[in-house]
Structure 1
Amino acid sequence: MSEHIFKQTFKNISYNALGKVLSFAFQSFASVVLSRELVAADYGVAGFAMIWVTFMKSFSGFGINKAAIRSQLFSEVAADTAFTLRQIVGIIAFAVTIAGAEAARLFFPHPAIATVIRVLAWAILIDNFSLVSTIYLERELRYGALSTAETALTVASSLTAVCLVYNGFTYWSIVYAYLAANLTFVVVAFCFRPYRPRFRLDAGIAREYLKYGSTVFLTGLLTFVLYNFDNFVIGAVAGAERLGFYSIAFNWGAMVCSVMGAVVFGVLFPTFARLQHDPAQMKTAYLKILQLAAFVSVLCNIGLLCVGENFLVTVLGKGADKWLPSLVALRILCLYGVVRSLIEPAASYLMALNRAEAALKATMLVAAVELSLVYPAVRFWGIEAVATVVLFSFSCQLLVLLPALRRASGILLHELWRAVRPAVFAGTAMAGLYFSVARYLPHGPFTLAVSIVLLTAAYLVAYGALTGWQDYARLLCQVQRPEA
């Protein structure tokens, strides 16, 4: 049984990876176009409004999906109960968002901010209708279908944004692209797993979902605050332009982790939930995923850290230096992206073992550190200090998660280090090589392309040498004999 789940898991990761390659291409293309056509203040307006709305959108979820996925049975009554609960909470969240839109002016005095928030609020109601289809698909481990829906979401968002920005819609291009993405996901998910909406509430099932979901929701809510409090404070204290510079740095610094989350980490919770009664298999799977996350995130994030200056000027700035104020923050947040990629799988692992309180405590620790330091950082030092605070506070989770992993499954520090060590050393070698010659390299597309190729080659060679080429050999065997 566990062997079947392992094969299904890596098959699902392959489906996700294939979809995310396409999604990443469209998302990167749209991000580059928007960066070249918009100014920092445009990003600031859309970004601040998005914080306001996605906060209420996260409230509307209330952990119902995680509770339903983990439940042993998911009957028709359970599906209707999940749908009804989501509609109730979602309508409340929508109403509060509309009513409170004007209050955003107190923190972000832009004339259009309230209107932008009211338009974005419709995404809350739209998203409600994808809940049950998504639960069915995740419970059935049909990640090919989910990957297709998520790819369609990204394609719709990217094409909408690009078309609108070329027609002068400025920050509205980001707003309408977000709505198009949510609507597309609902339609595609429903096509793969149709569900006829019915309002029906079973009290026992509702209590079960709300009891488990409340802990997951609180963890998710704190996580949301952590991921957005820095943007909120920068927008409120420093204004739209500085928020725009920070948004560019954060979006690109965390992009690889976001892709990893969709490709790999999104598969972990339902898979670990299936393996929760086989701790040895869970531990093996977790360490393999950690090794994969280290390999990919270090290569991509440290590579971007190296070529960041040329990237901001050549790709995002169309040869101009309009985004260079983001450079130092970008490099710091590239390190944050690596740390986040290595830490996030632990939360799924612990929640599947019914240790959600450990993930909650870790998130609360990060919240305490970040919430106390972000304001003075932006007030007295700027976005570079905020990026440093984000990196430091997120790393503090290790103080809680490492002991929790040891108690839950006997995972020791040296086992974790063994999984990530080759990537860390290979990334250090790659960065050292680049910065030893960086001052002699001019800006331009040719230099950027050659740098990326040579850095990738250096990393792969260093990683192979550090592992005795065994990982590459195993991968080659899997390609040649996929049935294994």
Structure 2
Amino acid sequence: MSLTKKTLKNISAVGLFQVFGKILNLVTLIILARLLSPSDFGIVAIAGILITLVDGLKDFGMSSAVIQRKENVEKSLRTGFSIRLIMSILLFCVVYIVAPLWANFFKDQVISSILKISAIVIIIENFNFIPNTKLTKELRFEKIVISGFLGNISYSAVAIFMAYNGYSFWSLVYGRIIQGVVSSIIFWIINPWKFHLQLDKKIAKELFNYGKYVMATGFIILAFDNLIYTVLGKLIGPTVVGYYIIAYTWATFSSRQIVVIFDKVLFSTFSNISNDIPRLGNAFLKTLKYTSIITIPITLGIFALAPEFVKIVLGEKWAPAILPLQILCIAGLVYSLSSATSSLYLSMGKPNISTILVGMQLFLIILFIIPAAKIFGLIGVASLVSLSGLIFAPISFSLAVKFLGIEGKSFVKILIPPLLSAILMAIFIIGIKEYTKMYDIISKYPLLYLIFLVLSGIIMYVLILFILTNGRLKEDIRMLYSNLIS
């Protein structure tokens, strides 16, 4: 089987379970948004700031470093696991000690209790490392997504049950812990491994040398998100953090929910052909083509439907998140299109590029986030996030063009049809909304009205894209479908 067909088959395998998993996640989020208050989401996010930052330190890029290696893989796996386990235990102790101080900073002692209980996830998820990394390196993604899917089911069941029975924010905390336990157990069942500690100093040094850039990139991205939670939580309060979380989650739906289907496969695939630049460039362009066809209309569709979606699906209490959601759609669009460049740089052994770019973006956020939050509140922070994405995405693409020897017009040919089709689709949806206002349909049949708008947008997008691509869209869909069936 050719690498292209194997990649498409892997994307299909990952995609099948990922689609079900993401649908489950989104349904769970909608249900929890209706059962819980914005402050419940906000206070867990504020506690989670410390957890996610500390958790990002334990991996140190070990997973990517092992995947990229061509020799001593088994020793590398055991060495990476041993390092991560030691780091996990130390970091758990750090969180437990720092928890009261973190709670004092936000003047809410319940944060300390949340932190001490949530910190166990840092240790639990370490046991996914060997089976997850090994399966990823071997391109056996269908087994990985099965574990993730079953973990998602456990989270949904526990979180919804507890939220319905009045456990407020604790439903999110315990749901997350159960998810980690179930996922680790399933990983062990699917790909059994013997617990064995080994620390090879030479391999450890090599893993650190490669992984330090991956870890730095991941840590900066975590700092990027959590800096926003910190500033909003400290200056305005946990309720506004809750609004931001919902707005950001749906605005970046395509980049964080859909593109991950491709990214799980792309790094391993790109790594296998990293020495063949023309082939790598061709694979990169094909990836950009398929991601843009899917993610651009989703993001612009969310922009057009934000008011109706928030009020009808999430509830009126989330109305303050509508405008931030629309503004953050710009960031979501940029992230979804530029996601493949990160996998490209990692596969080429140039992880420092992503580190530098996200570092510069974080620096920009650090400079302006406090005045943006103080003067313009949530709207100012959302605008700053989107603006930072617009500034640095072109730089990332230009570097990709340089390394791959691709002509800039190749990007234009790929991006223009779906972008223009999606813009016309969004205008069409807004036009329908304006026309139907006089009939007061939304108050009589709100859910049916929303479904009608979504279906109308999809039909319009596909029709326009089919015309702009001179019918090639049909062949692209047929190619993906045939690989899915296989």
2:220 paired with 1:222: yes
Match of 2:333 in 1: 338
User: Cα 1:31–1:231, aligned 2, differ >3 Å: closer, same or farther?
Assistant: same
Match of 1:329 among 306, 311, 324: 324
Aligned mates of 1:197, 1:125 — CA distance in 2:
15
Q: How does 1:70-469 map to 2 (within 5 A)?
A: 70-317=68-315, 321-439=316-434, 440-441=436-437, 442=440, 443=442, 444-469=446-471
Q: 1:482 deviation in Å?
A: 7.3
Aligned mates of 1:148, 1:334 — CA distance in 2:
30
Structure 1 stretch displaced more, 465-474 or 70-79: 70-79
Q: Secondary structure at the match of 1:462?
A: helix
User: Cα 1:279–1:322, aligned 2, differ >3 Å: closer, same or farther?
Assistant: same
Q: Secondary structure at the match of 2:349?
A: coil
Aligned mates of 1:298, 1:352 — CA distance in 2:
25
Number of residues of Structure 1 aligned to a counterpart in Structure 2: 479
Q: Secondary structure at the match of 1:393?
A: helix
Aligned mates of 1:457, 1:271 — CA distance in 2:
33
Q: 1:483 deviation in Å?
A: 9.1
Aligned mates of 1:366, 1:160 — CA distance in 2:
37
Structure 2 residue identity aligned to 1:476: R
Matched-pair contact (CA < 8 Å) for 1:68–1:74:
no
Aligned mates of 1:378, 1:40 — CA distance in 2:
18
2:18 paired with 1:46: no
User: Cα 1:75–1:294, aligned 2, differ >3 Å: closer, same or farther?
Assistant: closer
Structure 1 stretch displaced more, 339-348 or 407-416: 407-416
Matched-pair contact (CA < 8 Å) for 1:402–1:413:
no
- What per-residue deviation string (whole Å, max 9, x for no partner) do you get for residues 210-267 of structure 1? 1111111111111111122212211111101111111111111122221124311121
Q: 1:481 deviation in Å?
A: 8.0
2:32 paired with 1:34: yes
Q: Secondary structure at the match of 1:90?
A: helix
Aligned mates of 2:118, 2:96 — CA distance in 1:
10
Aligned mates of 1:404, 1:479 — CA distance in 2:
32
- What per-residue deviation string (whole Å, max 9, x for no partner) do you get for residues 247-299 of structure 1? 11111112222112431112111111111111112111111111111111112
Structure 2 residue identity aligned to 1:149: S
Aligned mates of 1:249, 1:30 — CA distance in 2:
16
- What per-residue deviation string (whole Å, max 9, x for no partner) do you get for residues 440-478 of structure 1? 344311211100110111111111111112022242255
Aligned mates of 1:185, 1:408 — CA distance in 2:
38
Aligned mates of 1:261, 1:207 — CA distance in 2:
32
Aligned mates of 2:479, 2:368 — CA distance in 1:
49
Q: 1:399 deviation in Å?
A: 4.8
- What per-residue deviation string (whole Å, max 9, x for no partner) do you get for residues 367-397 of structure 1? 1111112111111101111111111112222
Matched-pair contact (CA < 8 Å) for 2:99–2:116:
yes
Aligned mates of 1:37, 1:144 — CA distance in 2:
33
In structure 1, stretches of 5+ residues that fail to align are none
User: Cα 1:482–1:134, aligned 2, differ >3 Å: closer, same or farther?
Assistant: closer
In structure 2, stretches of 5+ residues that fail to align are none
User: Cα 1:480–1:91, aligned 2, differ >3 Å: closer, same or farther?
Assistant: closer
Structure 2 residue identity aligned to 1:87: L
Give the alignment's Cα RMSD to 1 decimal: 1.7
User: Whose helix fraction is larger, Structure 1's or Structure 2's?
Assistant: 2
Q: How does 1:51-66 map to 2 (within 5 A)?
A: 51-66=49-64
User: Cα 1:78–1:413, aligned 2, differ >3 Å: closer, same or farther?
Assistant: same
Aligned mates of 1:397, 1:155 — CA distance in 2:
36
Aligned mates of 2:452, 2:484 — CA distance in 1:
33
Q: 1:28 deviation in Å?
A: 1.4
Aligned mates of 2:391, 2:448 — CA distance in 1:
40
Q: Secondary structure at the match of 2:306?
A: helix
Aligned mates of 2:114, 2:386 — CA distance in 1:
30
User: Cα 1:120–1:432, aligned 2, differ >3 Å: closer, same or farther?
Assistant: same
Q: 1:301 deviation in Å?
A: 1.5
Aligned mates of 2:384, 2:430 — CA distance in 1:
25
User: Cα 1:168–1:417, aligned 2, differ >3 Å: closer, same or farther?
Assistant: same
Aligned mates of 1:421, 1:429 — CA distance in 2:
12
Q: Secondary structure at the match of 2:106?
A: coil
Q: Secondary structure at the match of 1:54?
A: helix
Matched-pair contact (CA < 8 Å) for 1:294–1:338:
no
Q: 1:20 deviation in Å?
A: 1.4
Aligned mates of 1:50, 1:426 — CA distance in 2:
39
Aligned mates of 1:474, 1:302 — CA distance in 2:
22
Aligned mates of 2:193, 2:275 — CA distance in 1:
31
Q: Secondary structure at the match of 1:277?
A: coil
Q: 1:314 deviation in Å?
A: 1.1
Identity between Structure 1 and Structure 2 (%): 24
Matched-pair contact (CA < 8 Å) for 2:66–2:73:
no
Q: Secondary structure at the match of 2:19?
A: helix
User: Cα 1:482–1:11, aligned 2, differ >3 Å: closer, same or farther?
Assistant: closer
Structure 2 residue identity aligned to 1:471: L
Normalised by the length of structure 1, the TM-score is 0.95
Structure 1 stretch displaced more, 246-255 or 468-477: 468-477
User: Cα 1:109–1:391, aligned 2, differ >3 Å: closer, same or farther?
Assistant: same
